[in-house]
Amino acid sequence: MNLDKSTKRIAKRVKKGFQGYPKISLAYFGESESCASEVVMGFIAEEGAVAQEQRFSSEGDARKDEVIQTTLLKVIERADAKTVEEVAGVSIIK
């Protein structure tokens, strides 16, 4: 799957807003706001459950890494996530 298709499909799921559980959250981290070198994906199966986290790292910008974006989409689909949330922007790692 190509990068453009993956990012559009993830963005479409994010725009739907809260639809119930299971819920997946995506947060990007990096040295600067222009380059996200890490993605943290959180999975919550049901309300009140503890979040499970998975981290993905990239040498470049993870938002433009085809392998990472395709993997995120596949996890979202296989988990049958009803809600996908994305933290806006890139959080700075110090």
Tens-place pLDDT, residues 9-65:
999 999 999 999 999 999 999 999 999 999 999 999 999 999 999 999 999 999 999
Neighbours of 78 (CB within 10 A): 8
Range of the domain at 34: 3-92
User: Residue 44: which of 83, 90, 87, 91 has the closest Cα?
Assistant: 83
Listed residue (30, 6, 17, 4) closest to 86, CA to CA: 17
Helix (H, G, I), strand (E, B) or coil at 77: helix
pLDDT tens-place string over residues 55-92: 999 999 999 999 999 999 999 999 999 999 999 999 99
Distances (CA, A) of 16 to 46, 54, 66: 18, 23, 23
Residue 85, exposed/middle/buried by CB under 10 A (0-12, 13-18, 19+)? Answer: middle
Q: Is the pTM of this model over 0.85?
A: yes
Count of domains for the chain? 1
